[in-house]
Structure 1
Amino acid sequence: MTDTQTTPQIIIVSGRSGSGKTSVLNILEDFAYYAIDNLPLSLVVDAVAKLTAENIHKIALGVDARAPKADLTNFPVIYDSLVATYGADAIKILYVTAQEGVLVARFGATRRVHPLMATKNNLPNAIHSEIALLEPIATRADIKIDTSTLNIHELKEKVADHLGVDGMVRVNLLSFGFKYGTPIDADFVFDVRILPNPHWREDLRAQTGNDAAVREFFAQYPEVDAMAEDIARFLNDWLPNFLYNNRYSITVTIGCTGGKHRSVYVTEKVAKLLDLPANMPIVVKHREKRYW
């Protein structure tokens, strides 16, 4: 495969129980991977074929000691099959581990049961047995991460560095009407009800902030564009800092009374004035559009 737009990126995530496999899969979901945890190895080839046929090309599959032993022993065959179909560059194995003392402490803190405890009688035996069980995967790992001293933010940075993923933060610009309630997921709320209101012009009442007549109305009042410029200046100055704050999205809301005129106009104006880094894509939405 030579088309970089359709070449799959398949990551098999494995590692010792308690080392952070689920956290890694959650991080990969933030990086737009389609993640499946605890997938039996015997289903991996069919699952990848199904997902790629559905035009899903960033895939992360969690495989660990919960899989049947026969599956784990057969890992080299499954791995070779994926490489033969998609190419070696498309397949990566990410293996997470941690020091034994850290694993024991984590199981003690969470009170979770190690998946091998039922047959190995105690936690140290289960931890040691798991190492041998996962050996066919560990020896082929492209990326190994020791999570013993990492917090979740440091782990995310490690995964991003290994995969060459640039941090991306989506900026959601949302207009809304206060009379329908303030958005509960808002990171920033700007209130533009202080601005002149076209609602009191009967000929403009049925129109929206996207219509030419309403834009002409606002052109009569310099304070309207001034407020939009002030909001955009603030966002241009401060939003880029979220690239280093382990955030995946930021929601900026701009509200007027009904979410039809002032907030719509100012939101669209702010979107045009924003000059953010390329890895901060902007999405504009108008929450009250259903009432227009």
Structure 2
Amino acid sequence: MQVIIISGLSGSGKSIALKVLEDTGYYCVDNLPASLLVVLVNHLQTQHHSHVAVAIDMRSGDNIAILPSQLEIIDKGIQTEFIFLNTRTDTLIQRFSETRRKHPLSERNITLEEAIQYEREALTAVSSLGHHIDTSSLRPNALRAFIRDFVSSKRDPTQLTLMFQSFGYKHGIPLDADLVFDIRCLPNPFYDPLLKELTGHDPDVIHFMESQPNAVKMLRDISNFLEAWLPAYIQDNRAYLTVAIGCTGGQHRSVYFVEKLALYFRDNAHILVRHRSLAEYHQHYARR
């Protein structure tokens, strides 16, 4: 039996994630009080449900604080995965303003920004339980793809999941990054008119990067660092490690680096690849 628990800030995309899991064949339960998690799992196990997804968040109040202890009680024979959705405060304020929805904590007679901050602090204890996804700059389709990739990956639950993520600094540093490498000091293909509208996936950009001695050296240095310290992260019983590689726009250099690193470490851990900014570039050039 596999149980996926989804939590995170209000407005971060939990409903989208739960709907994706439902469409994938999971038995889904929304807004479950944390105190009922073990009861629900035990009941569904007797009903022979093999794939279950549960959303637990602040809608059930401060009861969520007992979630870590509830997870420890669940039968060790049941595979549990935890996904926490995080989003920047300014993005959440914009989303609530656009949808005109009330924040679940708005009844406390506080401002929207205060409600978001209170919720963020209240979720601190559970935010470190599993895999983080920063949805600040993710469109709904991109989040759906992230969730599908996560659940479709057939991995050994005891094996570390190593996620390489490219991003553009002009869009902000991902909130879900454990390690961040800044490669903006390297030559930028963006300023070559023939490469400007390409990405780090394209052969011409790959050739450009591989012809730059500093790019080759930095890629080797990052690989050596990760190779030296990855065993320590594994011994720390981490389930996930997110390595973010950032350039200015997240289109050329960081994409190239992420693809190369994913290929290099494919035999050392379960690998996931994310390119946060590529969808925005593709949409921009499609409109031109």
Deviations 1:223-258 (A, max 9, x none): xxxxxxxxxxxxxxxxxxxxxxxxxxxxxxxxxxxx
C-alpha separation in 2, matches of 1:68 and 1:153: 30
- Deviation of 1:163 after TM superposition, in Å, equals 2.7
Alignment coverage as a number of residue pairs: 154
- Deviation of 1:38 after TM superposition, in Å, equals 0.2
State the partner residue of 2:179. none
Secondary structure of the corresponding residue to residue 17 of structure 1: coil
State the partner residue of 1:160. 148
C-alpha separation in 1, matches of 2:98 and 2:107: 19
Give the letter aligned to residue 55 of structure 1. Answer: H
C-alpha separation in 1, matches of 2:4 and 2:144: 15
State the partner residue of 2:80. 91
- Deviation of 1:161 after TM superposition, in Å, equals 2.1
- Deviation of 1:54 after TM superposition, in Å, equals 0.7
Give the letter aligned to residue 77 of structure 1. Answer: S
C-alpha separation in 1, matches of 2:72 and 2:6: 16
C-alpha separation in 1, matches of 2:58 and 2:67: 12
Within 5 Å, which residues of 2 pair with 1:158-197?
158-165=146-153
Moved over 4 A (4+): none
- Deviation of 1:68 after TM superposition, in Å, equals 2.8
Secondary structure of the corresponding residue to residue 104 of structure 1: helix
CA RMSD of aligned residues (A): 1.5
Give the letter aligned to residue 91 of structure 1. Answer: T
Name stretches of at least 5 consecutive residues in structure 2 with no aligned partner: 155-288
- Of 54, 68, 73, the residue aligned with 1:76 is 68
- Deviation of 1:127 after TM superposition, in Å, equals 0.4
C-alpha separation in 2, matches of 1:19 and 1:50: 29
Secondary structure of the corresponding residue to residue 131 of structure 1: helix
Secondary structure of the corresponding residue to residue 66 of structure 1: helix
Give the letter aligned to residue 26 of structure 1. Answer: K
Structure with higher Rg: it is 1
State the partner residue of 1:58. 51
1:14·1:21 contact (CA, 8 Å) conserved in 2? Answer: yes
Within 5 Å, which residues of 2 pair with 1:26-45?
26-45=19-38
C-alpha separation in 2, matches of 1:65 and 1:45: 18
Give the letter aligned to residue 113 of structure 1. Answer: K
2:5·2:56 contact (CA, 8 Å) conserved in 1? Answer: yes
C-alpha separation in 2, matches of 1:112 and 1:17: 11
Give the letter aligned to residue 97 of structure 1. Answer: N
Secondary structure of the corresponding residue to residue 49 of structure 2: coil
Identity of aligned residues (%): 33
- Of 9, 18, 35, the residue aligned with 1:25 is 18
Give the letter aligned to residue 105 of structure 1. Answer: Q
Q: Out of 99-108 and 112-121, give the one that drifted further.
A: 112-121
Give the letter aligned to residue 107 of structure 1. Answer: F
1:72·1:136 contact (CA, 8 Å) conserved in 2? Answer: no
TM-score (norm 1): 0.51
Deviations 1:135-159 (A, max 9, x none): 1210112x11111222222112111
